[in-house]
Amino acid sequence: MSKLNPNFLKTSDLSYEIVLRNIDPPATVEDKRRILKGILAQEGSDRSFIGITDPYDLKDNVNELTESITDISNLVSNFQGSPNNDDYTYFITSDPCIT
């Protein structure tokens, strides 16, 4: 099974994953990554959470979603390669945020 890697997440994504688990995110990116790594380790162990809720309202986060979509669109539109290219193979077979 794939595992989320906090080292590849943007600040807004780190905050989202932490808030999703009902924890107030710290101010710095380093602390957010440290906290999320601990949370994910705990989720992967026998210790479980009572429940995970999604306190985010998508209507309130349109700017972050639009920014992420724009980033992805730019990557796709600027990609130059063919199915024989190593980068092409990497992009279609992996997600850099998941290891």
Q: Classify residue 37: in a domain, yes or no.
A: yes
- To the question of pTM greater than 0.85 for the whole model, the response is no
Report which DSSP code applies to 98. B
Q: Classify residue 79: in a domain, yes or no.
A: no
- For residue 4, the SS3 value is strand
What does the pLDDT read at residue 35? 93
CA quadruple 83, 86, 88, 91: dihedral positive or negative? positive
Tens-place pLDDT, residues 10-61:
999 999 999 988 899 999 999 999 999 998 888 877 665 556 666 667 777 7
Q: Classify residue 69: in a domain, yes or no.
A: no
Q: Classify residue 29: in a domain, yes or no.
A: yes
Question: pLDDT-based confidence at 95, cuts 50/70/90?
Answer: low
How many separate domains does the chain show? 1
Q: Classify residue 43: in a domain, yes or no.
A: yes
* Structural domain boundaries, residue 26: 9-56
Q: Classify residue 84: in a domain, yes or no.
A: no
